[in-house]
Amino acid sequence: MAQPKKKPISPDKYFAMEETSEYKNEYYHGEIFAMTGASFNHNLISGNIFASLHTSLRGSTCFIFTSDMRVQVDQEKHYTYPDISVVCEQIDFANGKDDTIKNPVVIFEILSESTMDYDRGSKFKAYRKINSLKDYILIDQYSFYVEYFHKNEDGKWVLDEYNSLNDICKIKSIDIELSLDTIYDRVKLSNAGMDLV
């Protein structure tokens, strides 16, 4: 027997639900997807990146946000919670909501087994439609590996890869250097043959 079609949820209903929800949910074309809890490594990596960016960008016109800040990817259709996002100059809030931004210049996603295909594939494809976005950085929490996508002067996305703790990723749009040694500080990788403590 055919299953009844789910009735799409409107963006307004989604926003209302998020205000009282115990968990964050992403919104995609009328459907809501619950976000799972983050692992020990995920939290350490996120904290390391945030702390480094906060120190480097202190006194600048840029703002760094954790995963509690929502991003409007496509108005009325797609809203996400990146692990870390950066906005510079004037913040453009969506629909007058101070918890939803429209103009990130940098987005970080920390990969998990359940999200890595999505983060590299359809989510990145959607993010590329955000006009302000210049840098998209994927951090592997299971190995020393960073994928840095940046938009060049021709509007094409270019990939640089880093897999050594001595590597330094230079985030072009905000002119910040972020070393893998900083990103993975105190992160324990069981398959790397060594622990950083």
pLDDT in tens, 153-184: 999 999 999 999 999 999 999 999 999 999 99
> What is the DSSP secondary structure assignment for residue 86, as one 8-state letter?
E
Give the DSSP H or E segment for 87: strand 84-88
Is 103 part of any domain?
yes
177: number of Cβ within 10 Å: 11
- Number of structural domains the chain divides into: 1
> What is the DSSP secondary structure assignment for residue 95, as one 8-state letter?
G
Is 1 part of any domain?
no
Is 3 part of any domain?
no
Beta bridge partners of 138: 109, 147
Is 31 part of any domain?
no
Is 20 part of any domain?
no
Within a 13 Å sphere around the CA of 153, how many CA atoms are in the beta-carbon half? Answer: 0
Average pLDDT of span 145-158: 96
Range with lowest mean pLDDT among 26-40, 99-113, 152-166? 26-40
pLDDT in tens, 50-75: 999 999 999 999 999 999 999 999 98
Is 6 part of any domain?
no
DSSP string over 41-75: HHHHHHHHHHHHHHHHTTTSSEEEE-TTSEEEEET
Report which of 188, 148, 153, 150 is spatially closest to residue 168, judged by C-alpha positions. 148
Whole-angstrom distance, CA of residue 169 vs CA of residue 133: 17
Is 32 part of any domain?
no
* CATH code of the domain in which 67 resides: 3.90.1570.10
Distance of CA 103 to the CA centre of its chain: 13
Q: Read off the pLDDT band of 4 (50, 70, 90).
A: very low
Give the DSSP H or E segment for 84: strand 84-88
The whole-number pLDDT of residue 109 equals 96
Is 25 part of any domain?
no
Q: Which domain holds residue 126?
A: 38-195
Answer yes or no: are the C-beta atoms of 175 and 61 closer than 8 Å: no
